[in-house]
Amino acid sequence: MIHVVTADNRRIVCEGMKLILESDSGIQVVGGASSLLEASRLCGQFRPDAVLLDAELAVCGDMDGIAVIRAESQQTKVIVLSDGKDEEHVLRAIRGGADGYLLKSINAQELVMTVKSTVLGLSVIHREAFISFSRMIGTSGIALSASRTSLESALTPREIDIVQQVIEGKENREIARSLYISEGTVKNAISAILKKLNLKTRIELVVYAIRNHIVA
């Protein structure tokens, strides 16, 4: 059984998420919070597998909501839910240690699947937020040069180039075209990179790059 805490300053949103999540027999919502402090208390009390944290509570004044939750229950996965896809909010959530970032436009099935996937250890970012976020990185002139040293022992120069383009949000065919290689070669190279870094998805690769200062 997956135990979840929901946290949103609108009670009706918490009630709605509870109805959706508990439609799955493998999920139980153990508490709903309307403030960060209440969410922190519930997480300390129940030690849930995951907390669905509204973006406004994730950044509450000078407090880092994700850090507050983790201080009470270190093993709890934190999934941030937002009304928008502001790139800075996504970046701040990822750097703050969020395990997932969702837009509230998702449907019920996607919410359930995200909770299950995150508890299993996957990092999940809503596609629209991911594209917007990747575009911000791609247009900001951020490069990998400052952090190449830390990866040179694990990745080849070509693999590092591919990582950079994945971070920029490029599809395999775009990467292949820019590097003058086949799309199949790109696909195989990304699979090899994920295996070397012990990651499962492209999204996890982006998250890894940010958390390990491959991008600033």
Residue 134 is predicted with a pLDDT of: 56
pLDDT tens-digit series, residues 8-60: 999 999 999 999 999 999 999 999 999 999 999 999 999 999 999 998 888 66
Quote the domain boundaries for residue 102. Answer: 2-134
Q: Which residue has the higher pLDDT, 165 or 91?
A: 165
CA–CA gap between residue 27 and residue 68 (Å, rounded): 24
CA–CA gap between residue 46 and residue 31 (Å, rounded): 8
**Chain-centroid distance, C-alpha 160:** 22
Does residue 13 lie in a domain region?
yes
Q: What domain count does the chain have? A: 2
DSSP one-letter string for 49-93: SEEEEEHHHHEETTEEHHHHHHHH-TT-EEEEEESS--HHHHHHH
Domain boundary among 102, 134, 166: 134
Task: Evaluate if residue 180 carries a pLDDT over 50.
Answer: yes
The answer to whether residues 114 and 152 belong to one domain is: no
pLDDT above 90 coverage of the chain, percent: 41
3 state DSSP class of 95: helix
CA–CA gap between residue 170 and residue 130 (Å, rounded): 11
3 state DSSP class of 167: helix
Type and span of the H or E element at 178: helix 172-179
The answer to whether residues 123 and 33 belong to one domain is: yes
Indicate yes or no: pTM above 0.75.
Answer: no
CATH number at residue 41: 3.40.50.2300
Altogether, the residues listed in the chain come to a count of 216
Domain boundary among 102, 119, 134: 134
Type and span of the H or E element at 4: strand 2-7
- Residue 77 backbone dihedrals phi, psi, to 5 degrees: -80, 135
Task: Evaluate if residue 71 carries a pLDDT over 60.
Answer: yes
The answer to whether residues 82 and 31 belong to one domain is: yes
DSSP code for 147: G
The answer to whether residues 120 and 192 belong to one domain is: no
The answer to whether residues 147 and 126 belong to one domain is: no
CA–CA gap between residue 22 and residue 32 (Å, rounded): 13
Q: Please report the beta strands in 100-209, taking only residues with DSSP state E, as ranges in sequence order.
A: 100-103, 124-125
Does residue 216 lie in a domain region?
no
Residue 58 is predicted with a pLDDT of: 81
The answer to whether residues 115 and 34 belong to one domain is: yes
Crossing angle for the helix pair 172-179 and 183-196, nearest 10 degrees? 110
Q: Are 27 and 4 in contact (CB under 8 A)?
A: yes
Based on the number of CB atoms within 10 Å of its own CB, is 136 exposed (0-12), middle (13-18) or buried (19 or more)? middle
